[in-house]
Structure 1
Amino acid sequence: MTFETHPARRLWAGIEPLHALVYFAPEVAEGAKAIGLKGWFMGYFAGRAAPLGAVGPEAVTAMFFGFAPDRVQRALPDAWAFAPPEKVLATQLETVDRALERALPPGSEADQERLVTLLEHAVGNCDFGGRPLAAAWSAVRLPDDASARLRLWRAATVLREHRGDGHVLACVDHGLDGLHAAITHAATGLTPGQRVQTTRGWTEAQWERALVDLIGRGILDSAGDLTDTGTALRTSVEEATNRLASAPLRALGEYAVEEAVNLAVPLARYIMDTDAVPVPNPVGIVRP
């Protein structure tokens, strides 16, 4: 089994577009602006971090692995002066619900209901040790009359942040800081390096210094491509990420995991085929 075919990776490929709609939906960006947040990135950092409370830039830089500290500091803690975390979170949930209503395929309600049942069971069996973002999102309570699509988004969000927190742990364990992780991720070809540099807020000088360091370590060649050593490193990181994301899958069992993948993938494909989540994208999501 390669890391791409591991069940944890396949499930992530199916549910990541469901979560990632929040980053591309105009409804969400407009909602953040309406409550006073200044610019897309302030809305991004505040919206994703809101379940943590009025957290500062140092903690968010550590958790949102791969972003330049300066980019985070331009958004936080200033965002909380415009809108407190509770208001940011409530607005995001309301707007992402509307975005999902628009973006999910018509007639898929029964599949959404079954998928959310499976994913919520997986969420209930997550181990949140060392996973602050996933733990915070798991504590978000939805209204009793929340739609199945919003419940689905929340469950997908907890599972992707659970995987993401584990991915940060894997990168650190393999000697990659946030910038090195971003560069080597781009070098896999999943997302353009220039787009990663720009969206993550790294300067040309910072990016170039990190490239030189990675070339010196034998991880990249002089053209900026992964060497055999670099490929092995990234493979090992992804294998560790899959292992760390496997506890919720064990709770589901093999058959239910396959059912969840089979339900999620058509939803994800529809979202991407209609450009609700564009390809390529800085997250590195590909059509499952």
Structure 2
Amino acid sequence: MVVLEPNSSLARRFWVALEPLHAVVYFAPEPAAAAKEVGLRGWWMGYFAGRAAPLGPIGPGPVTSMFYGFAPGMVARALPDAWTFAKPEDVLQSRILAVEAALTRLLPPGAELAELDELAVLLERAVAGCRFDGRPLAAAWASAEPPDRPLARLWLATCALREHRGDGHVLAGVSAGLSGLDASLTHIAAGATTRELVQRARGWTDEEWAGSTARLLSRGLLDSAGRLTASGAAVRHDVEEMTDRLATDPLDALGPAAVDRALELAEPLSRAVVDAGGLPIPNPMGAVRP
């Protein structure tokens, strides 16, 4: 029996509360338009360059490793070519400005500046309390220079916290012996997403998909119908439990009262983003409306 630490389930609620605010960057038109304006070619080049920008002019190998769920060939079509069209620092700044514009459009006019600033301060405290051992992507985003505007600061903090959790999720998947594609197949088998969404968004061929299926069958994690076995469900549970457990640094840094206040401020904003069409449900990252 797995005994959850007290903050583990709260860590998942914290992610659910913040993820729509962060994920606007992947679905709103403003970031895609900004990537094109800065010189990047195509949506996926904008995605890989934008998400990796705080790391500098990095190549496809490390990005494939850190992003975990993408086919190597898909990453290599975007990097390092992206850096011949735009400098990482320009990509980063244009991305922050674009997400700020998207959130300004999506959030209700009644969103109080004082409350946005309060939430930004709380989330920056949460980021400052994170440990970044083995979490290169989160460390890079946490090191990005914060803007002096509350909404831009708020998004940058949600991004660092999201990547902190994401890096932990990669660590959990790797510790379970899963490749990025293997992990995606277990998500699908658990009903969290669909093959259509994942294969289109992550670039895996049918042959690679079949190879992952064969590996999971041989380990006894999937049955012949592609469903999780009891062993597969246990592995999936352990990965999610470890992900939550590795994501408790921000909660510990804030303390119970500040966590409650952050949730009180963030959840209505995230619901507003989803309701305004800023985040489709379902989506490849499994984010939901709080």
Same fold, TM-score > 0.5, yes or no: yes
| Equivalent of residue 117 in structure 2, options 113, 119, 129 | 113
Which consecutive residues of structure 1, in runs of 5 or more, have no partner in the other structure? Answer: none
Q: CA deviation at 1:223?
A: 1.7
Q: CA deviation at 1:215?
A: 1.8
Q: Does 1:28 align with 2:31?
A: yes
Correspondences of 1:251-262 after superposition (within 5 Å)? 251-262=253-264
TM-score normalized by the length of structure 2:
0.95
Over the matched positions of the two proteins, sequence identity in percent amounts to 56
Q: CA deviation at 1:171?
A: 0.6
Q: CA deviation at 1:106?
A: 2.3
The match for 1:130 is 134
| Equivalent of residue 265 in structure 1, options 264, 267, 275 | 267
Q: Distance in 2 between matches of 1:85 and 1:271?
A: 28
Check whether the contact 1:116–1:148 (CA below 8 A) recurs between aligned residues.
yes
Secondary structure of 1:6's counterpart equals helix
Q: Does 1:210 align with 2:216?
A: no
Q: CA deviation at 1:185?
A: 1.7
The match for 1:147 is 149
Tell me how large the CA RMSD over aligned residues is: 1.6
| Equivalent of residue 94 in structure 1, options 97, 104, 120 | 97
Q: CA deviation at 1:258?
A: 2.0
Q: Distance in 2 between matches of 1:202 and 1:236?
A: 25
Q: Distance in 1 between matches of 2:182 and 2:91?
A: 31
Check whether the contact 1:65–1:178 (CA below 8 A) recurs between aligned residues.
yes
Which consecutive residues of structure 2, in runs of 5 or more, have no partner in the other structure? Answer: none
Q: CA deviation at 1:255?
A: 2.1
Q: CA deviation at 1:5?
A: 7.2
Q: Distance in 2 between matches of 1:228 and 1:130?
A: 30
Correspondences of 1:76-87 after superposition (within 5 Å)? 76-87=79-90
| Equivalent of residue 75 in structure 1, options 74, 78, 102 | 78
Q: Does 1:182 align with 2:184?
A: yes
**Structure 1 residues 60-109: Cα deviation after superposition (integer angstroms, max 9, x where no partner):** 00000110000000000000000010111111111111111011222122
Check whether the contact 2:198–2:284 (CA below 8 A) recurs between aligned residues.
yes
Q: CA deviation at 1:111?
A: 2.9
Check whether the contact 1:187–1:193 (CA below 8 A) recurs between aligned residues.
no
Q: Which residue type is aligned with residue 151 of structure 1?
A: R
Secondary structure of 1:106's counterpart equals coil
Check whether the contact 1:171–1:177 (CA below 8 A) recurs between aligned residues.
yes
